[in-house]
A = this chain, B = another copy of it.
């Protein structure tokens, strides 16, 4: 069975681009990925498009991938739309990996795109599928994760300051990332002093809404040999799991724990082998809890881990070097592939002033549908090494 390799990545800057179409956003990312891979549009055998809200926001529940590919002149290949909440991009990446692994195609394209600013402008809360009713009464994602934060803090003694340090760190990383939506440094005081959204989560404790696209080119061993492997990054594991009943157990995310464990088993490595990680930091507290879910630090020590700077660039295991969802931005369908973009950039040693020295193995983690444990999904990919 062939290994699968990331041959190229590309993305748009994340931000608010009300005047740019979904097709144009996607096309920019796809062309950048093809260019990076030195693969011609005509060499792409199959494509998977991740998107989570294009149907409800833009009347495009189907055919988003085709729209994007039509824009760049790729026609006559299998194009499949993939949805999985905030993990839609990760799921598209996964299906592209599986397609190459199946032997049916040699070169597959994963793309993710989302345009949320239209919804943000309407001033209505963006919530999870099936939670519209609760959302109308204020039980939105920040409200849910505020409860998670309270529970975690009371259980572990973590302070609001520790939570805020995630936002400070990720903004500090983002200042070196030209693709990030927010790049101005912030302080703990600024994070804690920003507008309260849902106690203890302030505005700067939450990821922003925005627009953007990302793409990756996956190839088989045969194509990898032809291209030459010097810049290629191997996909070591693709893990996706959904639905474990209650989403939170002992203040932890059950689905993320199990998905990570399955990824490590697939790759035959452990958390200590990971040199750099992009984690689903939709809120400050989630990054901290995910350190523990992913095994990057012992249970209950997530807050201390960020306090001690272990997850900053230069620390023990730098997390969210791109700025993460929190500062780079979180256009749902694009996020999982943008995480791959960052990890590939790091593993190639091309991350410039945010480079993690000697990074060999990287992890991406994206999760979605949190409210309802039966639908919640988590995706973990291990790359490199």
- A residues near B (Cβ < 8 Å) are 1, 52-53, 55-56, 59-63, 65-67, 69-70, 74-85, 88, 91, 94-95, 98-99, 101-104, 128-130, 132, 238-245, 258, 368-369, 372, 374-377
Say yes or no: A95 contacts B80, CB within 8 Å. Answer: yes
Question: Which residues of B sit under 8 angstroms from A85, Cβ to Cβ?
Answer: 62-63
12 contacts between A and B (CB under 8 A): A60-B129, A62-B129, A66-B374, A66-B377, A75-B242, A76-B241, A76-B258, A78-B242, A79-B242, A80-B83, A80-B91, A95-B95
Question: Which residues of B sit under 8 angstroms from A88, Cβ to Cβ?
Answer: 62
Question: Which residues of B sit under 8 angstroms from A55, Cβ to Cβ?
Answer: 55-56, 61, 129
A40 to B350, CA, bound (A): 48
Question: Which residues of B sit under 8 angstroms from A70, Cβ to Cβ?
Answer: 243, 374-375
A83-B83, A377-B79 known; A243 vs B56 contact (CB < 8 Å): no
Number of copies: 2
A56 to B53, CA, bound (A): 10
Question: Which residues of B sit under 8 angstroms from A53, Cβ to Cβ?
Answer: 61
| Nearest CB of chain B from residue A371's CB, rounded to whole Å | 10
Say yes or no: B243 contacts A79, CB within 8 Å. Answer: yes
Say yes or no: A81 contacts B83, CB within 8 Å. Answer: yes
Closest 6 A/B residue pairs (Cβ): A55-B55, A70-B374, A63-B375, A81-B83, A66-B375, A78-B240
Question: Which residues of B sit under 8 angstroms from A83, Cβ to Cβ?
Answer: 61-62, 80-83
Question: Which residues of B sit under 8 angstroms from A238, Cβ to Cβ?
Answer: 104
Question: Which residues of B sit under 8 angstroms from A82, Cβ to Cβ?
Answer: 80-83
Say yes or no: B91 contacts A98, CB within 8 Å. Answer: no
| Nearest CB of chain B from residue A335's CB, rounded to whole Å | 14
Say yes or no: B67 contacts A375, CB within 8 Å. Answer: yes
The one of B65, B94, B242, B376 that contacts A77, using a Cβ cutoff of 8 Å: B242
| Nearest CB of chain B from residue A384's CB, rounded to whole Å | 19
Say yes or no: A59 contacts B56, CB within 8 Å. Answer: yes
Q: Which residue of B lies closest to A59 (CB)?
A: B132
A368 to B63, CA, bound (A): 9
Say yes or no: A369 contacts B84, CB within 8 Å. Answer: no
Say yes or no: B243 contacts A60, CB within 8 Å. Answer: no
| Nearest CB of chain B from residue A29's CB, rounded to whole Å | 18
| Nearest CB of chain B from residue A185's CB, rounded to whole Å | 34
The one of B75, B98, B374, B376 that contacts A102, using a Cβ cutoff of 8 Å: B98
Question: Which residues of B sit under 8 angstroms from A91, Cβ to Cβ?
Answer: 80-81
Say yes or no: A61 contacts B129, CB within 8 Å. Answer: yes
A368 to B376, CA, bound (A): 29
A372 to B79, CA, bound (A): 15
| Nearest CB of chain B from residue A100's CB, rounded to whole Å | 8
The one of B66, B84, B244 that contacts A76, using a Cβ cutoff of 8 Å: B244
